[in-house]
Structure 1
Amino acid sequence: MKKLLLILLICLPLTGIAKDKNDNSNPKYLAGAVTLTDGKVTFTKEIKAPGLSRSAIFDQLLKWAQERFKPDGKLNSFVAYTNEEAGEIAVQAEEYLVFSSSALSLDRTRIYYQFFIYAEEGVCNIEMTRIRYWYDEARDGGEKYTAEEWITDDMALNKKQTKLAPICGKFRRETIDLKDQLFQQVADALGQKLLTAEVPAPQAQQPVPAVVPQQPVQTVPASTGELKEVSIEQLPSNMNELAAQGRITLTAENGETIDIKAENWSGFGKMFTKNVAYILFDQSRIAATALMEQSNTYTVSFYLNQSAQPAIVISCKKAMAQKMTAEELKSLNQTVDASKQYTMYIGEITKAEMR
């Protein structure tokens, strides 16, 4: 009874207890953001991985889990159970959520939770549940709470459910952020598997059979007129050849533009049903890789026939970057220097334009 009363007093939005952060009214953290299953706070997500088998998903996510969850000092995270045949992985996790940190103070809590992975053919279901906290542990043993008594809507939101409560709210906010981070890491791990294993290679030009002497008719965009938005299907089918014949530039979101080579352009593909474009740089090109690492969005422009205007402009939102060896790239039909290390950048295509 005393503990419940303490919880209620702490979670009431009293003036002067804590200063609201700018995201205290962010809908991401408000009503419905924390869900219950069988009375337990549980976060779930389904991630589709078309073309990947259950065993491929299991292997990739077991590798990710073993790297992500391992003992670190006083924290003891580990993969507790695996069943390859059923595609199941269970993790026992322990880490810190940091609310604020400065030279004079550190406000954090220890969080415990279980993380489950269920691999199926072409799909993966993940679950974060059984969440507990150990707060202020250095002071008289601290306080221990369960997520069910601490971060649900009735505890961690104000009465109108328009803001996070000062104390419980920060636990709710950081827990949701951790959940989002974990779910994104799983999606990224599967994206890497799709890229390096079973996703079709970026479009490559098929060689013309020796018995057919004539050259295929090439579609060459006009270099005059205004840029007009087109679908990916409307772009020329011989983009790789056009890239080799003209000039290509890469423009970062800060406006900086550099020239890139035809060998850096690796064509189009699909990832999680979205149209993507591939760009490949060897890691010795420091300026190019630095530009890509610092940019969330970028455009690739193709200039033909010595024109001062681009004939094709591809706008992208960076989806992921994957370091790759020469051997891995050769398996994707890429011509590379075996002595170099590479990074493949995958961008979701947000707009395609052509004159």
Structure 2
Amino acid sequence: MKKLLFIIALCLPLLGTAKEKKDNNDPKYLSGAVTLSEGKVTFTQEIKTPGVSKEKLYDLMLEWAKNRFKPEGNLYSQVAYTNEEKGDIAATAEEYMVFSSSAISLDRTRIYYQFLINVQNEVCNLTMTRIRYWYEENRDGGERYSAEEWITDDMALNKKKTKLAPICGKFRRETINLKDALFESVASALGKQLLNNNNTATTTPMIPLVPAQPVLKTSEELKEVTFEQIPANFNDLIANGRLTITAGEEEIDIKAENWGGFGKLFSKNVTYTLIDQSRIAVSALMKQSDTYKISLYSTGNTQPSVVIECKKSMEQNMSAEELKSLNQSIDTSKQYTMYIGEITRILMR
């Protein structure tokens, strides 16, 4: 009862406290963001990997898990269980989750959780569950909470479910951030491995070159088209035209060597763009942007013939050998970052 009263007191707004942090009202963290399964806070994610066998996925995920979950200092994480026949990998995790840090203060908690992976042919299922916290461990032993009593909608949101509570809310916010980071790390690990495996069907290299076709017209308005309607000689048009990247309000010219091609990643149409790391402006633009446009201007035209709108899915530093597999004309003496963008819309004249 005493612990419950302490929890309730912490979760209530601290009225009149000048130093109170502004409640976070980002919808990402609000109602429905924390889900329950059989009474336990549980986060799940399914990643589809067309053409990839259960055996290949198991090997990739076991390697990822062993690198991600391992002892560090006084924290102990490990891969605790594996069953290749069933496609199961289970890890127990213990790590610090930092709320704020400065030269004079550190606000953090230990978080404990289980991370479960199950792979079958062409699909990888992820689960994060059994989440617990040990907060302020150096102050009279600290306080221990379970996710079920601490970060659910009833505890970590205000009555209207429009804001995070001051104390419980930060646990909820950072737990969701950790979950997202874990799921994104798995997707990235799969993508990076599969991009380098020419024998998988998960990704396909750039569209094969075909004999040149007539130059695209630019007298018409841009109209939305399907992926299949992209000109088959797109690579030829790039070599003879002008290519740009636009993010926000800024449009920057790039070269034909920056083009990596089209492909598929987890059944989605994507573009591969190779950015020279020495080009500070365009590198900064790509790192800061979640969405961008690739525009092709045909020779002599001031309006784009094709505009490909993309949502950034992944970025990866590339080796010389990997670069050559995407673009034979690349200058391998330079350092490049490859950006993979999910195609969200295609416009063409």
TM-score bucket of the superposed structures, by smaller chain: 0.7 to 0.9
Task: Give the TM-score taking structure 1 as reference length.
Answer: 0.86
1:84 counterpart letter in structure 2? E
Cα deviation for residue 38 of structure 1 reads 2.6
Decide whether aligned partners of structure 1 residues 10 and 301 sit closer, same or farther in structure 2, where only a CA change above 3 A counts.
closer
Matched with 1:343 is: 337
Q: Verify: 1:227 aligned to 2:222, yes or no.
A: yes
* Distance in 1 of aligned mates of 2:4 and 2:247: 53
Matched with 1:213 is: none
* Distance in 1 of aligned mates of 2:151 and 2:77: 22
CA contact (8 A) 1:277 1:349 kept: yes
Structure 2 counterparts to residues 28-107 of structure 1, below 5 A = 28-107=28-107
Which of the two has higher C-alpha Rg? 1
Unaligned runs of 5+ in 1: 207-215
* Distance in 2 of aligned mates of 1:101 and 1:333: 44
Moved more, 38-47 or 297-306: 297-306
Matched with 2:206 is: 202
Cα deviation for residue 159 of structure 1 reads 3.5
Q: Verify: 1:145 aligned to 2:139, yes or no.
A: no
* Distance in 1 of aligned mates of 2:85 and 2:337: 34
Cα deviation for residue 277 of structure 1 reads 1.4
Q: Spell out, residue by residue over 1:70-124, the C-alpha distance to the aligned partner (whole angstroms, 9 max, x if none).
A: 2222222222222333222111111122222233322211111111111111111
Task: Give the TM-score taking structure 2 as reference length.
Answer: 0.87
Corresponding residue pairs, total: 344
* Distance in 2 of aligned mates of 1:289 and 1:163: 35
Cα deviation for residue 354 of structure 1 reads 2.2
Cα deviation for residue 202 of structure 1 reads 2.0
Cα deviation for residue 139 of structure 1 reads 0.8
Matched with 2:256 is: 262
CA contact (8 A) 1:201 1:332 kept: yes
Matched with 1:212 is: none
CA contact (8 A) 1:248 1:301 kept: yes
Moved more, 148-157 or 336-345: 336-345
Matched with 2:238 is: 243
CA contact (8 A) 1:239 1:267 kept: no
CA contact (8 A) 1:316 1:348 kept: yes
* Distance in 2 of aligned mates of 1:337 and 1:44: 42
Percent identity of equivalent pairs = 64
Decide whether aligned partners of structure 1 residues 16 and 112 sit closer, same or farther in structure 2, where only a CA change above 3 A counts.
farther
Decide whether aligned partners of structure 1 residues 317 and 148 sit closer, same or farther in structure 2, where only a CA change above 3 A counts.
closer
Moved more, 72-81 or 91-100: 72-81
Moved more, 330-339 or 311-320: 330-339
2:209 counterpart letter in structure 1? Q
Decide whether aligned partners of structure 1 residues 295 and 152 sit closer, same or farther in structure 2, where only a CA change above 3 A counts.
closer
Q: Secondary structure at the match of 2:42?
A: strand
Q: Verify: 1:314 aligned to 2:308, yes or no.
A: yes
Matched with 1:328 is: 322
Decide whether aligned partners of structure 1 residues 158 and 66 sit closer, same or farther in structure 2, where only a CA change above 3 A counts.
same
CA contact (8 A) 1:219 1:237 kept: no
* Distance in 1 of aligned mates of 2:151 and 2:290: 33
